[in-house]
Structure 1
Amino acid sequence: MALACVAETPRQAEAAMVEGGRRIDVKAFGAKGDGKADDSQAIQAALDSASMGDTVYLPKGTYLVRTIRLVPNVHLVADGMLKQPKELTGHFAVEKQHSDAPLFRAHRISNVYLAFNAETVNEAIYASQCANITIADSHITGDSTNDRSFPAVLWYDCLASRVVGTTISHFGIARKSPKTYHPGTAVRVLSSQGVTISGNRFHHNGENGIFVHDSGDVEIDGNHIHHNGMSGIQVAFNTADRVANYRITNNRLEHNAADAVDINNRAHGRVVAINALIAGNYSNNNGFVNGESTPDGSGMGTLIGISGVTLSGNQAFNNNRPALYIEGCGDITANRNMTDGAFELVGRWENIRMEGNSFHTLRLLANAEGRSLDIRHSQIGSVMLPNGIRIDTLRLIENEIKSGPVNINMEGHLKFEGNRLNSGHEGGALLLVNVASASLLGNHILNAKNAAITVRKTASNVRIDSNFVTSGGAWIHDFGPPNIKINNNQIKEHVKLDGLR
């Protein structure tokens, strides 16, 4: 059969640049594109006729399609619309995580470029054990009435695959309740390596925008992910050693019903170093369904059971839960982030360093136990440390703490140096109840009421040196702790502080 040549479109030109092969028009193989005839066999025949590097082209029209089997080294570009019939609808389950009738099926093939428009009732593509599969410049819409929808894109055991410049929406029924949600994810990545998800828009899907499980070398960059029924981006574990090398950068995450970014290794039983960068993301209004709070909704990240993570230059506002939630982690670095939310630490951690951040509250829960917590050059609304926590070394260095008091009742050592602490609380500004050692050096401490600094006798080895203290009462209440040293402090007592914070 002769091949029909057609005028080159931008999508064809892009695909042709990839391999430089022929362009094959499906209408030369009998495709109707009228939205009535089943064009599956004609499109499949065009693909099967192609040679390495060829591009199969679907001109404008509506192509009724059941399932198309992709061919290695052959591309597909569609200016028309691919549409699956409703009777093919399947239902996602934990026991059956892929359908019997995806729009495109790819197995053990490589080097395929796809650019298309589609309305599907199951997956737009299910690819297994493939390499170098690219979906680009596509627009994919699912079935918004399916309460257990399959994902739009399913990579399983794939290498070097990409979703770029693509819009995916309405896979699964919209979440209506804070207590329940329905399956339906834009991109689901399982046991894969070298995945790129960049410059896409994923919205109004039943569950996550992106779900990644047991995969590594993943880049998620520059996406707009909004109004999905669970987290914008979720990373989960089974074989934890495979989860490494993540770049989650420059994404906009808004109005998702759970966390902006959720990396959860709680069930695995040990901390896993994943070498992840979470940077330059913007999040807003996550953790709500129809104005009601869900159990989730962190703005920058929920990090559980992981290590080797850096969060840098993220912004998060109006989210339901803490902007940054850290539970049972190893080494975490957070710098230059800005949020109106809290940084919350739970369980055991190794080394957490935070520098140059602006956040509302530092909050530790009662089971907090860490080796090192180092916070520098940050603007902090308040510091909430419960009694009886353990931190081997707590360093608060050159921060502005806008509201006291700061209560230290912990096992471990404290360095509180170069900070500006304002308080109008009856309890004072800084209270040392229990600490193995404390260095209070070069701080500016202001309290409008009562003593600015209180040191109980259970606090040991306290040095208070070269501080600038302004207090509405006595500047210090010293209850006779052992080995206390007080030197070179500048004090302003009993001054009127009206109008001061």
Structure 2
Amino acid sequence: MVLACNGGGADRQAENEVADAGRRINVKDYGALGDGKTDDSRFIQAALDSASVGDTVYLPKGTYLVRTIRLVPNVHLVSDGLLKQPKELSAHFAIEKQHSDAPLFRAHRISNVYLSFRAETANEAIYASQCSNITIADSHLTGDSLNNRSFPAVLWYSCTASRVTGSTITRYGSARESPKTYHPGTAVRVLSGQGITISGNRIHHNGENGIFIHDSGDVEIDGNSIHHNGMSGIQIAFNTAERVTNYRITNNRLEHNAADALDINNRAHGRVVAIHALVAGNYSNGNGFVKGESTPDGSGIGTLIGISGVTLSGNRAFGNNRPALYIEGCGEITANRNVTDGAFELVGQWERIRMEGNSFQTLRLLANANGQLLDIRHSRIGSIMLPNAIRIDSLDLIENEINSGPVNVNMEGHLKFEGNRLRSGHEAGALLLVKTKSASLLGNHILNAKNAAITVRKTALNVRIDSNFVTSGGTWIHDFQPPNIKINNNRVQEHAKMDGQQ
């Protein structure tokens, strides 16, 4: 995956060198007072307008009352003082008007600007449109926590190669008070962007999403701490679906957000879109609650809807409200080495889902499940819940540890159940084959403390049961004479005798 930009330390050092390359212009030389009483907008603007390419406008310590500053191309701004907007500027976000008339910084069709500053803003800290190479680094942005329809802190519209790094963004919008309602107010909102990096930031206590990305590509979201926001930690949405491609969402901490840790939702287009995304090394905890009450959301690793070409690797998720991984109507999804106390849930149609080396509590399919391939290997699974009458062309369960039966298979399709360790204490047994086109039970260790370990109904076709080690509290198999069943080389032990030997 090739990305347009990188949020690492080397880039930040280069940005600082650029910011120091030209003259250093002190706003106090242009009349700014920084006394917290005087409107310093025109003095700061005069300093910016006087600058040449590569110059840096500097605000020393103090409090600068500011309305709106228009940024200048190739001119940087660094502030040790606090920029503060008057409260009377505060306006309300709406779907019809998603930017205010009075952001702290306004940028339009400019490039090569580096900003590092502290601010308390009534509206956006920055609204940039059709810009390139805009950097916000090592900044501290605080919004209006009393505004229940707040504009975002950072709004990029149709921007390229821009980044937010090492910054704190908080209190944009009112805190969510109810599981049923939330208030607009997002930390970073990216619309129709390309080559966006959001890395190393602390994003918390905002009214809506921590990060919202819409109709954008070549995006890296890495190493952020995103917590206590009123909707999802990270949400990715679609308009022109082909633009949403090349994502790296890695090494983030996503905690106590009121909706999902990560939500990538392409339900509206009615077709699967390949987004070529890596979701790796993230940690999530406690998402999907407001004041201890459950919201309708709260996945830990991610909610994936209508997408393909996604790899989820090495993520950890604990104590979240909803399934750790929710997959609905997707194409090709790979999930490797993820650990969670939650469920993996599959809904609707999918193409090819491969899972290896994961540890999760429950595999749950809903009644409308219809997939080409579901391949699960080398995983630790608490239980498997397969409803009746689902369709999976190929269901492969290979060398897994399944800690709680029964596993009930009643589906259109072919089953491979090979090399697994399955334990059950259920009256219904450990493994029930009700309906399949074919089933291979090979080399499994199956333990059931009660009744038959394996039951095979007449509607399970072409069943092979070979070289399994079965321990059962009753008859090891109930064979209802299905056609073409083959039973060979199995070892059987009574459960009571095994317990006595132990």
TM-score interval, normalised by the smaller of the two chains:
over 0.9
Distance 1:303 1:218 in 2: 17
CA contact (8 A) 2:230 2:258 kept: yes
How far 1:321 moved relative to its partner? 0.2
CA contact (8 A) 1:111 1:131 kept: yes
Alignment of 1:135-150 (within 5 A): 135-150=136-151
How far 1:498 moved relative to its partner? 6.0
Alignment of 1:116-265 (within 5 A): 116-265=117-266
> For each residue in 1:445-494, what CA deviation from the matched residue of structure 2 results, as whole angstroms up to 9, or x when unmatched?
00000000000000000000000000000000000000000000000025
Distance 1:56 1:151 in 2: 25
Query: Closer, same or farther in 2 for the Cα pair 1:305/1:481, shift >3 Å?
Result: same
How far 1:495 moved relative to its partner? 2.2
Alignment of 1:317-356 (within 5 A): 317-356=318-357
Distance 2:163 2:20 in 1: 17
1:283 paired with 2:284, answer yes
Counterpart code for 1:262: D
Distance 2:433 2:375 in 1: 18
- For residue 94 of structure 2, give the secondary structure of its aligned residue in structure 1: coil
Distance 1:236 1:336 in 2: 26
How far 1:14 moved relative to its partner? 6.0
Match of 1:378? Answer: 379
1:50 paired with 2:44, answer no
Match of 2:8? Answer: none
Distance 1:311 1:329 in 2: 14
How far 1:17 moved relative to its partner? 3.9
CA contact (8 A) 2:121 2:142 kept: yes
Counterpart code for 2:269: H
CA contact (8 A) 2:377 2:398 kept: yes
- For residue 42 of structure 1, give the secondary structure of its aligned residue in structure 2: helix
CA contact (8 A) 1:357 1:377 kept: yes
> For each residue in 1:59-97, what CA deviation from the matched residue of structure 2 results, as whole angstroms up to 9, or x when unmatched?
000000000000000000000000000110010000000
Query: Closer, same or farther in 2 for the Cα pair 1:308/1:213, shift >3 Å?
Result: same
Structure 2, unpaired ranges of 5+: 1-11
How far 1:15 moved relative to its partner? 3.3
How far 1:103 moved relative to its partner? 0.1
1:435 paired with 2:436, answer yes
- For residue 495 of structure 1, give the secondary structure of its aligned residue in structure 2: helix
Counterpart code for 1:491: V
Counterpart code for 2:354: R
Counterpart code for 2:467: S
Distance 1:12 1:62 in 2: 27
CA contact (8 A) 1:472 1:496 kept: no
Distance 2:86 2:402 in 1: 60
Distance 2:269 2:54 in 1: 44
CA contact (8 A) 1:414 1:437 kept: yes
Query: Closer, same or farther in 2 for the Cα pair 1:142/1:429, shift >3 Å?
Result: same
Query: Closer, same or farther in 2 for the Cα pair 1:129/1:354, shift >3 Å?
Result: same
Match of 1:459? Answer: 460
4+ long deviations beyond 4 Å:
11-14, 496-500
Distance 1:369 1:453 in 2: 25
Distance 1:238 1:50 in 2: 39
- For residue 330 of structure 2, give the secondary structure of its aligned residue in structure 1: coil
Match of 1:35? Answer: 36
Match of 2:75? Answer: 74
Match of 1:266? Answer: 267
CA contact (8 A) 1:151 1:188 kept: yes
Distance 1:247 1:257 in 2: 23
Aligned residues between the structures? 490
CA contact (8 A) 1:395 1:414 kept: yes
The two structures, once aligned, show a CA RMSD in angstroms of 1.3
How far 1:37 moved relative to its partner? 0.2
> For each residue in 1:384-425, what CA deviation from the matched residue of structure 2 results, as whole angstroms up to 9, or x when unmatched?
000000000000000000000000000000000000000000
- For residue 496 of structure 2, give the secondary structure of its aligned residue in structure 1: coil
Match of 1:8? Answer: none
Match of 2:401? Answer: 400
Structure 1, unpaired ranges of 5+: 1-10
CA contact (8 A) 2:390 2:412 kept: yes
Match of 1:20? Answer: 21
Distance 1:496 1:261 in 2: 50
Distance 2:217 2:20 in 1: 27
CA contact (8 A) 1:250 1:280 kept: yes
CA contact (8 A) 2:19 2:56 kept: no
Query: Closer, same or farther in 2 for the Cα pair 1:354/1:260, shift >3 Å?
Result: same
Under a length normalisation based on structure 1, what TM-score does the superposition of the two structures give? Answer: 0.96
